[in-house]
Structure formats: C-alpha cells, structure tokens
Structure 1
Amino acid sequence: MISRQRESRNCPGTVPAAQALGYSDAMRISLGCMLPAMLLCAATSAAAAPARCPAGDVPELVRAAELALARSEWPQATLRLACAAERSADPAVAERATRTAFEYQQTGKAVVGARRWLTLDPGSETARRHLAIALLRDYDDAAAAREFAPLLDGGDRGRAYGQLLGVLAEERNVTGAARVMDRLAAGDPDLPEARHAVSVLWQRADHGSRALAEAQAALALRPGWRLAQYAEMRALLTLGRRDEALARSAVLAAGDDAPARLSHAWMLAGLGQREAAAALFGELRREGPVAREALEALGLMAIDDRRYDDALLVFGELAREPRGAEGVAWHFGRIAEQRGDRLLALQHYQRAVTGPRAVAAQLRARRLWRELGLPERAELQIDEFLAATTGSTAEVVAGVASQLTEEGRAREAVQLLDRALRYLPDGDLLFTRALVNEKLGRLRAAITDLRALVARRPGNPDAANALGYTLVDHGQQLREGHELIERALAARPDSVAIQDSKGWALVRLGRVADGLPWLEGALERSGDPEVAAHLGEALWLLGREDEARAAWERARAEHPDSDPLRRAIERRLQP
C-alpha cells in the first residue's frame, strides 16, 4: 500500500539540540500569513517562475523580489533573490536569498542560495548548516553528509553527535537522515554516541536490523548505557520481536526511573496490554516529571473506550495548567465531536492554533463548519489560521484536498493542488495530487506525477513504493512495479506499508503463496484494513474462502468505512 506522510517522531532534546547547533526557526518549514483566500479559494493561478535569471542589477532584483513576495509569488521572489546573490559579492545578499527560500519552502532555491552564501563566506557555520539541511530536504543525502561533517569538528564530538541527532530526527526525509548519520559515523567507529545516533535514525526509518546492530555496537563500547539500551529495545520492536522488546523494556522500568516506567507503560498499551498499561499510568500520574503525560495517556485510553465522562475529568485536570492548553483543547474537541456536539467541538478546535495538533484541529474545524452548512466559514477558518499562526502550508493544502476528495469534489482538489504546486513545487504535494488523480480514475496522470517524484527523489523509498504499488495495483507494468517495491523494501525493510506492497505485488504476479506470508506479517503488525483486504484476496485465490471471509469480517468490525476493504468484499462476495 502507499504510506501516507507521517508526523515527525520527536527525539528527546530536539529543540535544545537544534538551538545548540544554531539551526534557526526559519529552517522549520513554517509559514504565517502567506496563503489565505488567494490559494485556497481563488480561481486564478500564479504564473510559473521563469527558468532563467531576469535582467537587472542587484538592487533591482531585490526590489522585484519584494514586490513578488507582496503578491505571494514565492517562486518568482526566491528566483530573483537567488539571481541577486549570484551577481553580488556581498554574503548578506546570499544569506537573505537563503533564508527567504527556507521561509517559503523553495528547497531548490535554498540550495542555490546557501551554496553562494558559503562560497562568499566559507568560514560561516550558519551558511554551512543551511546548505546541509537544504540538501537533505532536496534528497541529496551524500552532499548533505559532506556539509554536516565539518560541523562535528572541534570540541566534544560525542556531544556534537547528540546535538545533530536532535536535528536530523526532526526531518521528514527519514531514510536520508539515517544515511547521512551513517556516513558521518563511519569516521568514528569507536564513538558510542555516533553508533547510538545511527541506531535511532535507522529505527525511525524502519530498518530494524541496522538499528539493532548499531545499538549493540554502542553497548559494546559503553556497557550498561541506558540510551543505547533504549535504542536496542526500540530496534527489537521495529523488527517485530515484541516479546524480547517488552522484556527489555520491563528490565529498564524495574527501578525508580519515571521516564523508563512511562516508556514501558506506552509499550504495554501499544501491544494490547491495556489493563497493565492503565495501572502503570495511574501510578505515574503523581510522578512529577512524567505526571502530565501519564495523565494524558489515561485520558486517551478513556476516549478509546468511549468513557467520555472519565476523559473529561482527566483532561479537565490537565486544563488547570496553562502548559499544553492547545493539546487539551484538541482532546476536548474530539470528545465533543464523538458525542455529536459539533458546535462545542468547533469551539475547542478553534483554540488549538499552535503545537503538533494545530493543523489537524483546524482541518477538523473546517470539516465541521461544512457539515453545518457554512462553507464560507469553513474557508475563513483556514484563512485565519494561515494568517495568524506558523504551520505547514503544504500540510494544510494536502488536508483540504483530502477533504474535498472525501466530499466527492476530487476535481476541485486537483485544481487546488495544481495551483498550490505553482507556489510549492519542491514539497510533497505532487504525491498528494497523484493520490487524488488515482481516485478520479486518471491513472495516467497519477503515474506521471509519481514518476516525476521518483525522478526528483531517486533515493526516496516512499516514492519508489508509491509508484510501484500504483503500477501493481492497476495491473500496469507489473515487473517494473515489483522492482520498485523491492528497491523500497531494501531501504525500509520493516515498513508495514512496503511489506504489504511486496505481498500484493507477488499476488498480482500470480505468486500468491509467496505473497501470503508478507501480507500476514504486515496485518499482524498493523491491523490496517487495506492489508486485510489484500490478505483476504490472497486467501480467496488459494481456495481458502472461509478464512478470507473471516479476515474481512474481523477487519470490517474495526474499520467499517474502509474503501479498500469494501471493494475487496464486493469483488468476491457480491454477484
């Protein structure tokens, strides 16, 4: 299956680490007051940025860039600033070009600007940091590693690896981040901090065997190091060795270490041992450093169990403190929505304007306004959010496009994405447009977009998997699709989405018995209804029709609205 974009899995100490290395907030893909009605509602589209530098001296190009920014013509503005940087010997001009490109998510121009900045000021660590991050976001892992390498020199290298880990753990290019750290750590084979950093990033990139080997190397260099023990435990979990991971977690949680006990409680919950998890969370709700997170966990479990009154009591206790108020608002909104009180849910969602759940809350509010018959207020909701709050514009656009598609307005979603790609050509919106075009039956357009994404990011396993799965699922170039999936699987062997793609590709190639174990393993690890749909199809083709029905029924009980599941059942069970 095609894996959707994931939120970053934060590494403890990420923000201080980033600050310590001098990484600015501008590097954190954030925009404010940039994209209101012009993009989300307007029927006009931006003019494409010219491919070459326009005429003009440096001051003229800078003035033209400022006018383009005032019109929200981001590609044109960043092109002109990049041209000004090339024509100027002043590193300040190149710095401005680089920072503007970062702010407006123009990754290619950020690379150009940062290269020029570093050329003009080769001793600037700030310029080198910007270039390294821009190259990583442009999926040029080898070049990014070359630029990160000098930043580890001087001072405590172990501490520098820990700081860089915090930075790379924030990046969406998870496989690229792991490859970068792998290249860097190759020069420090006897440094436990280097081995630990590599382990954490390979685990994040769904490569459990490499993560485990690196964690064990760190432990060999520094026996009993708890950070490496945690990394080893997480690697075992990534490999699907749940019992071993749980046993290691229990050992780490045996003492008075509250964070270790909290981690163990989350693992128990994730492995379905909810009663034991709830008991441990209950003990930890009075433990100072982890009390708030333990209390939130109890509230989340209450929501999952539909014990809404209990959940309100828990989150009401959390709401007494101003810290994390937006997160509490999100939870209150979920409770109200699940109880059917849309207006109350809206009130809560509208308060969640910062933090990791802000985009999700605002998109939920937009949906509710539309369900209440107020589409104009829905769009105003998004406009106000983008005008007042930093956030990921591309994520908002992708979310709105998804909602339009679910509302049966997929053509409008494509039009929105067409416009957005003129403003944000370097992001993930090409992937989103491919998904929408596939839903519309525009297979050729979807495959064209995915091929373009693979060509732009040849080392990205998610892009290879998306194209490979789409080809296989639609019976197009089955062998090519299987080869692309194999390439993706080599990079991320423990990705459930890619394992499912592998199994489904084998089924589509007629190797149903070979595909079955891949699908069974992916379903056991994920419970995903699309995987269940594929597993049922494989069982049916093998003549095990009763088992296929049972697999579909179990999945449908948990996911009654799953389209892939519905289609599989209709294909086999309805005449």
Structure 2
Amino acid sequence: MPIFRLFPVIVLVLLYGCATTNEQAATPGAAVKAVELTKPLGKKQQKESKTSIDPDVLFMLMTAEIAGQRGQYDVAMEGYLEAAKRVHDPRLTERAAMIAMYMKDGNKTNEAVSLWLKQDPNNLSARKIAALSALKAENKQQSVEQLSALLKQDPAGFEKTLFELAGALQKEDNVAFIYAVMDDLAVKHPDQASIFFIQSLLASDLKNKDLAERKIERALKLQPDWDKALILQAQLAVYGEDFKRAETLLRNASLKYPDNPKFKKMLAQVLIKSAKYEEAGEVYETLFANDPKDFESQFSLGLVHLQLDRDGKAEDIFKQLLVQADWRNQSNFYLGKIEEKRGNLENALSAFDKVTDGPFQFEAALTGISLLAKDKQYDRAEQRLKALPGKFPKQKPRIVLLRAELYSQQKQYEKAYSYLTEELSVYPDQEELLYSRALMADRMGNLGIMEADLQKILAKHPDNVEALNALGYSLADKTTRYAEAETYLLHALRLKPGEAVILDSYGWLKYRMGNRQAALDYLQKAYDKQPENEIAAHLAEVLWVSGKKEEAKKLIAKALQDAPDDSFLLHFKHKFLQLNSAH
C-alpha cells in the first residue's frame, strides 16, 4: 500500500497557502513574478518605504525581475534574497524561497525560509516549507521542532498539515525516517490522534501489519468517532485478507454512525470481495433508498445484479442511469455487455458505440472489435480497428495486440508474427508484445523463438506469471524437459496458487510425466474453477486413458454443445472418439 494512497492529500504547491496561488507556483515565470512595489500605501508606510528602499535595493529587484523573465532563476533568487536581507520584507524572502524550491536548491531554500521565519515567525507557509525541507534532508531534530511549532501555531489545522507534508513526500524513499520522526513527535504530543494515524499508514507501507493495527487503535482511543481512522482500520484488515474482521468492523461502524454512508459503501465492497453478492446488493439498495441521488450506489447495485445473472434488473438500472451525464458512458458499456451475453451482436455494438468518453470508451471499442472477430466478420472488425490509433494514440501497444489477435484468429500466424516483430523494433522490451509473439511462434511450431521471447520477459520480470505458465506448459507439452517445466510451473503456482490455467498446465505436466492420479486432481480443480474448452479437453484425455471413458465422453459432449468448432475439443474427438468408433 503506497504511502497515503488511501486518502486525498494536497500537493506541494498548496503548502504555500495564501502567500502564493496555485497559478503562481505552477510555472517558473509565475514563480518569479515581481513583488508589487507600486501598491498604494498609507502616508506612514510611504515614508517608511522611501527611507527603507534605497536605489541599490531597487536595482537588485529590477535585476531579479528581469532575470526571472529570462529564466535565469539562480540570479533572480539571489537578487530577491539579498534585497530581503536589506529591507526586512517577508514578501521578498517568500519569493526567494519559492524560486529556491523550484530550483531544488536545499541550502538556499533553508537560508531563505530561515530568514522568512525571522521576519514573520507566525507565517504557516514558511513553517510548512521548513518542516518539509527538514524531512527531505532527514534532519530529525529539525523535523520534530518544525512540526511541533506547526502544532502549536495551528492545532486545528495540524491534521491537514500532516497530510499535506506526507503528500509532498510520497515519492521520497524515506518512509522509515518519517516514521521515526512521528515516533519522537508522538512522545512530545501523546494526545494527537493524527500522529498515530500517520504512523499506521507508514507502518503499513513498511509491511508491518501488526504495528499498523496497533497505531490505528491508539488513534481511535484518542478519537473514537474519526471516520478516516475507522475506515483505515477496516482497510488494514482487507489488506491482510481478513475479510471477516473487516466486515465486523464496518458493520459496527455502520450501526454506530448510521448517517455516515462511507462505512456502508466500504462494507459493500468487502462483501463483494467475500463473494457475498446478495448481502452487498442489500447494502447498496439501502444506500440508494436513503439517498436517491447516490448514483454511485445505484450503479454498483446494477453490477451486483450482473454478477448474480439478474440481467433484467441490471438492465433496468443502467437504463435509468442513462439520463445522468456522469454515468451515461459506463451504463452504455454494461448495457452492451448484457446484449453481448444475450448474443445480440448488433444491439451490443450499438450500445458500445454510445460510449463516447471516459475510461470505458477504449474498452467499448475493443470489445466491439472482438465481438465482430468472434462472429468471423473480419472485414468489419478491421474497419473499426483502423480508426483506433487516431482516437487512442496512447493505447498503441494494446491496439497492436488486437491486430495480431485478429490475424491469429484467421490462422494467419506468419503475418501476425511478422507484424509483431516489426512493432518490437519500435518497442523492443514491451512485455505484452513479446508474449504475443511467443504465442505466434508456438503456433508456427517454432519452439526456439517462443522460448527466447519468454526468457527475455523473465530475465527482467522473473515473477511474470503468464510467461512462467506459458513456458512451463510448452516445455511439458512439446518436449521431455519436464524438470525445467516443473520449475517454472511451481514458481507460477506459488505466485497464484488458485489460478485455473496454471493448475491445468501443472496437471498436464503430471500427465506427461506419467502420474495420472495427480494429473486428474489438478485438472479437475482447474475445470471446477474455470470450465474452459482446453481444460475440458485435457481433463477428458486423462479420464479416457485412466479408463474412465464414459466420464470423458459426457464431458466432451457437454463442451461441444456450447463450442462445436473449438479446436481443442475437436482434437480430442478425432483422437479418441472416432478412433474408438472405428473399432
């Protein structure tokens, strides 16, 4: 769980507070915008200004402004800093600090912020930058001092400040150090729940589950009704795959705070993770009944109905959501999936074509093309495919994979292989392209190239489950290098022990090694999890050679009813059933 990913935090530019707007901090030019020296002043201020800003200082400021406009930020920063030292104007010091931060000059940032705090000790923005700088430099004493000062100056905003600082430090590789700072801070301020909350997140990031749970419990003792802390406590249980505990925590919180929908929404998600779809649906129904404008819960209820094969109820919900602009595209996508499930190709395409924006747009386009290819309407699929690169330039690798798959479905393996080879000259280390070319090489009967591509993937990504499984299965199926095959497949099983395709590969390996009982055990598990045609063909073959021919026949007959043209099923039929009938 990356540090503070669970909760939105304010990015670094907001640390500047009122002193500097987002727009000013966003660009270098804005960051060095000249301080307004022409702002109307009272008579007393005019007098002070005339006596304090001498010609040398004015020259420094003019030089700094011109340097900033020309992109000479080091000159601009020195000019503002020197001017600030002479006229005791915190506005100039602030500008120098902003430029130093933009330049990532830690020493100059510290110098400018130190002067800024001397000139304006109660400035929260200066104090936050000082704390951030100390944390980045891993200066523990300074970090604790600055954070303590922030707590003293702004106790009501301290929680928000911690999140701001944490957000700014997300990319820094110093989680253990920040935790140690929080430890010292907790000793000085044992009544601050937010410190223990941050420690819980940090401990989770350090993979210390027990410590994370202890710290969040400490936070909740201090602030029992803190919704963020209650949710984090449940999230920690989820990350530990203790769904029962997460469910209990969230049910208790929902009963205690019935007007807070956050707990019910997370409870529904946990119930889905536990495959308790009926109960999750009931929670979403309650949420939507309590708030008819909670379209998120209404949409989630539609997905639950889909999961439970209540396509009609799901369809009603998605159609109702079509009038809501924010939910129209995803609703059309799932209406298309319902039509796909019913076998209504044209209706499905029509729904997918109405997905015109957002993250579902590309998926809808791909699904439409895949449906046409499945229906062997390759010309229409190709026509749609041609329009994708212009619409989705960032999705080039996935578009390439889809085109290769279209060639493959037409058994144009050499064409697919050549196309992927050409694309790999542009993206030489792209895992998905290498994997796809390996599959094409396998279909062409070129085991050497297939193995080389998969080994190239594993050299950089040794835990790539798809590559481990593909290589292990191919070695088991096409060679007698069973020991090597077992090494790859056992590695894959350790990473994903319940994955059906890996169980199938390992079962097939056991069959090839002559261990039929072990093969049957693994293949049956695989088929029970995922009754795919290839798994069915493997299981049927082992049943057949084990003397369980009637079971094998029933299994194949059932599979052929749904997929009469499947190559794996037909191979089994020709190899065993026709041979058997000839005798």
| TM-score, normalising length: structure 2 | 0.55
Q: 1:230 aligns with which of 227, 235, 246?
A: 235
Name the counterpart of 1:406: 409
> Per-residue displacement from partner, 1:164-188 (whole Å, max 9, x unpaired)?
9999xxxxxxxxxxxx99x976996
Give distance in 2, aligned partners of 1:10 and 1:355.
25
1:422-480 C-alpha deviation (Å, 9 max, x unpaired): 22222120101112332343333322321222234345454333322221232352211
Q: Name the aligned partner's letter for residue 296 of structure 1.
A: F
**Counterparts in 2 of 1:346 and 1:431: CA distance versus 1, 3 Å:** same
**Residues in 1 aligned to 2:454 and 2:497: alpha-carbon distance in whole angstroms:** 21
Query: Which residue does the alignment assign to 2:251?
Result: 253
Q: Is the 8 A contact 1:367 1:378 kept in 2?
A: yes
> Which 5+ residue runs of structure 1 have no aligned equivalent?
1-8, 23-89, 91-120, 125-149, 168-179, 200-213, 237-243
What do residues 477-534 of structure 1 show as CA deviations (whole Å, max 9, x unaligned)? 2211211223344455565544544444334333444455555555555566655555
Contact 2:472 2:489 (8 Å CA) reproduced: yes
How far off is 1:313 after superposition?
2.3
2:461 corresponds to which of 439, 457, 463 = 457
Could you say which residue in structure 1 is the equivalent of 2:359? Answer: 356
The one-letter amino acid of 2:363's match is: A
Task: Give the counterpart of 2:421 among 418, 421, 424.
Answer: 418
Tell me: CA distance 1:375–1:497, structure 2 relative to 1, closer, same or farther (3 Å). closer
Q: Which residue is 2:474 aligned to? A: 470
Q: What is the match of residue 331 of structure 2?
A: 328
Match of residue 439 from structure 1: 443
What SS does the aligned partner of 1:426 have? coil
Match of 1:218 among 204, 212, 222: 212
- The Cα offsets for residues 108-152 of structure 1, whole Å up to 9 and x where unpaired, read as xxxxxxxxxxxxx9869xxxxxxxxxxxxxxxxxxxxxxxxx989
For 1:233, the aligned partner's letter is V
Letter in 2 for 1:421: L
Provide the identity percentage. 23
2:325 is paired with a residue whose SS is coil
Looking at structure 1, the residues matched to 165 and 567 of structure 2 have their Cα atoms a distance apart, in angstroms, of: 45
1:282 corresponds in structure 2 to 285
8 Å Cα contact 1:353/1:362 also seen in 2: no
C-alpha contact (below 8 Å) 1:366/1:382 kept by paired residues: yes
**C-alpha contact (below 8 Å) 1:359/1:396 kept by paired residues:** no
Tell me which residue corresponds to 2:200: 192
Q: Give the whole-Å Cα distance in 2 for the aligned partners of 1:532 and 1:406.
A: 21
How many residue pairs are counted as aligned between the two chains? 412
Q: Partners in 2 of 1:362 and 1:529 — Cα distance?
A: 26
Are 1:319 and 1:325, in contact at CA under 8 Å, matched by a contact in 2?
Answer: yes
Over 3 Å counting, the alpha-carbon distance change for 1:305 and 1:194 in structure 2 is closer
Mark the structure with the bigger radius of gyration. 2
State how 1:22-41 maps to structure 2 within 5 Å. Answer: none
Q: Which residue of 1 aligns with 2:42?
A: none
Between 1:434-443 and 1:12-21, the stretch displaced more is 12-21
Deviates more, 1:273-282 or 1:262-271: 262-271
C-alpha distance 308-232 of structure 1, shift in aligned 2 (>3 A): closer
Q: CA shift at 1:408, angstroms?
A: 3.2
Moved more, 244-253 or 481-490: 244-253
- 1:509 aligned residue: 513
1:396 aligns with 2:404: no
List gaps (5 residues or longer) in structure 2. Answer: 15-70, 72-102, 107-134, 148-160, 184-198, 221-229
Q: Is the 8 A contact 1:359 1:395 kept in 2?
A: no
Report the CA distance shift for 1:458/1:269 in structure 2 as closer, same or farther (over 3 A): closer
SS at match of 1:423: coil
By percentage of residues, which structure has more helix? Answer: 2
CA distance in 2, matches of 1:292, 1:374: 37
User: CA deviation digits over 1:231-265, x for unaligned, max 9?
Assistant: 433543xxxxxxx7356425523524645544544
Residues 272-281 or 448-457, more deviating: 272-281
CA distance change for structure 1 residues 348 and 123 in 2, over 3 Å: closer, same or farther?
farther
| Change over 3 Å in CA distance of 1:523–1:424 after alignment to 2 | same
C-alpha separation between the residues in 2 aligned to 1:368 and 1:320? 27
Q: Cα gap change, 1:460/1:332 in structure 2, threshold over 3 Å: closer, same or farther?
A: closer
C-alpha displacement of 1:349: 1.9
- Counterpart amino acid of residue 402 in structure 1: E
Amino acid at match of 1:407: Q
Report the Cα offset of residue 393 of structure 1.
1.5
The AA in structure 1 aligned to 2:384 is: Q
State the structure with bigger RCO (CA 8 A, min sep 6), 1 or 2: 1
Q: Give the CA deviation at 1:396.
A: 1.8
Q: Deviations over 1:345-395 (max 9, x none)?
A: 334323435443333311233346678998666445334332234542111
| Structure 2 residue aligned with 1:172 | none
Residue 13 (structure 1) shift: 5.6
